[in-house]
A and B are shown apart, each in its own frame.
Chain A
Amino acid sequence: MNGFYSGRSNEHSTESVCPVCLATLPAKLMRRREDSEEIVLLCRVCPQHGVFEEVVWRGEPALAQWHRPKSPASNLSRQTAAGKGCPRDCGRCPGHAQHACTVLLEITQSCNLRCPVCFADAGNGDPRHVPLDLLLEQLAWIREQAGPVVLQLSGGEPMLHPRLPELVEAACRLFPAVQLNTNGIALAGETGKGAAFAESLARTGLSWVFLQFDGTKDEIFTALRGRPLLRQKLQAVANCKAAGLPVVLVPTVVRGVNDQDLGALLRLALSLAPAVRGVHLQPMTRSGRNAFADDGATLTLPEVLAELCVQSGGMVKKEHAAPPGCEHERCSFHCRYFLTRKGELVPLRESSACCGPVAGTADFPSGHEADAAGRESLGRTCCPMPPRSSCCAASGDREDVERAVDVILRSWRGDAGSTADCECAGLNDFDRFIAEARAQSFSLTCMAFQDARTVDLERLRGCCVHVFSPPARLIPFCSYNLTSTEGVPLYRKKRV
């Protein structure tokens, strides 16, 4: 095992960029203690712009307990050649080590908000929509190159595209899941327009709505989106629920703005389940329109998890969180739960539960017993930690990514609108378990995107979230959005 993870070494060599000029630089992850907490710094020196140290991990679980190695992907289609070096060859180049499980397609530059934190720098009055004919060609190319991935339609605000329903229908014929990344304003439209829009999207086969939803107070929306939006967001969820469209709430998390509202947001999401399938937290990055400030507002993964544990009153525990099997281990955590009828979260598994020998067993809480059995029952008493590094390692091969896509589908599409049938007479435990898992699962996930200050090229090469870049590139999300602290993007076209 790498000495950094085993604790034998406090340094790990990687590569990064200069935040000012984006030049590729050798870098080190350095473990330190600060105020009784363990922190990990990403350190590098630019000959022209000096020393840069950025905290990329703070607190528990420590990185030594957060290891999920992967072998580089084989049979990965490459669209670009190596030449200028990482991250300038993206598209994907021979150095990339992971398949895509999700591909983003930006269908418009138009937006009905102008969020101060927009990494896409959208909503600058650019009215362009990508024509449907061209989008259909792009869909076919993505399917051919990336395989059966989750397709995310994004923008700008994709709901402003006039041909959206036709596009979603076409995408659903090609991909196992189509996710709409939206601010939800169109779904909350007055005089029934929002409800009608939700119904028309449900008819297209759209898998779920990835709904920008930053908190439970209007002042949070005003800070991050420029105006109060809580009422509209709740209306959008209600309209999706009525239409049978699953919803995932997606907050941008900013220290000092909504990091103390995460518990309230989780409780709100649970009250809206099972129509709301989960919360997908995204700590703010400094990219796009938001590239300039450096005020320590970005939270690391353990900090988000710690806030969730405290603010949920113990409902969320650190042991529930597991490192990802698809994207790089330092890029996200996920907690998967059953939601009982009393509104309690029961972990489907804990991160410590590996595939090793079972030290004890517990019954699956079936039917009416589910509430009473609650926490004492599910997936708990497994082996303590270590075997994960071998038995849970992902190879990065196509079948592992397909499994990851399958997990995403089960988590976020589920069986929205229905509740688990507790009148299960005649069903065996497998039937009962499957029915409840479909209807009552709830996911709590957090994705730590990278920016020019935090980008670690080792993580970038392990990325499985790719953006389609015309005419024929698949660029890792954080590379595509990388923007220097002077506002110069690496890949996105500069818009004034």
Chain B
Amino acid sequence: MDAKPIYSSEKIVLNQHQYNKEQRFLLFKRILSNRLMMFGSIILILLTMVAFLAPIIATQDPLAINATARLQAPSSEHYFGTDNLGRDLFSRVIYGTQASMVVGISVALISGFFGMVIGLYSAYNRYLDHMLMRICDGLMAFPAILLAIAIMAALGPKTVNVIAALSFVMIPTVARVIRSAALVVKEQTYIEALKSQGASGIRIIWVHIAPNTISQLIIQLTYVFAISIIIEASLSFLGVGIPAPDPSWGNIIYEGKAVIYNAWWMTVFPGMFIILAVLALNLFGDGLRDLLDPHSKK
């Protein structure tokens, strides 16, 4: 028998390494075992790929009008049929995916950034808190779509404006979530300990409070992503979103509305994509919350 001591420090370090590996494996297993989250993630990945590869996947130019092939039913040539101007619906929906994803991601990033700044500062400073939170209350009093429509009416229909309007509408929600998360972190002893070590306020906010609110931010942003896809579709449907002739799921449905009894495909296909995207995002967000929030662990 080998008479080596079992608890040599080398061995312990090895075990530590093993332990870390096991932990990572367990986390991976937990993700895999969450079927709904896996389903959501796969759809999200597919949609993102579709958005990136739109020029390759699309069979035809989404803007090419063909007067002889108007309102054709789905066929092997036009997978989703054609619209009232004879444009290939499949290509239009694919490019619409690109538009929706771009809007969704941009809004999530922009509102995430500003929401974080506002939330953190209002959690840290009482006077700023009063001011910023009353403004947020005021903005949240308006229904999100109504506020977005008002902003779009002022700015004019343009993709950039859609992103700006939606970000503006979403900032208060994100700021509130970050603020409440930061308020909890702020009361932790380690923040007082940091003060006692001479750390400045700015350092405490950005280096120590912010990373502790990231998990809540990410979860919130998946919902912001989903909601902004819906609102973008609604705006486009109402004609104040992404301007025609550029395709978006919303404005395709809007154009299909007039011919809904003759050409069901014009509303059903983009509608399906909207449902799929929002469902996937919500499933993904729920799964993420279960993973990141220790209180909801089963």
Decide whether A and B are members of one complex.
Answer: no
B residues adjacent to A (C-beta < 8 A): none
Q: Using a CB–CB distance below 8 Å, which chain A residues touch chain B?
A: none
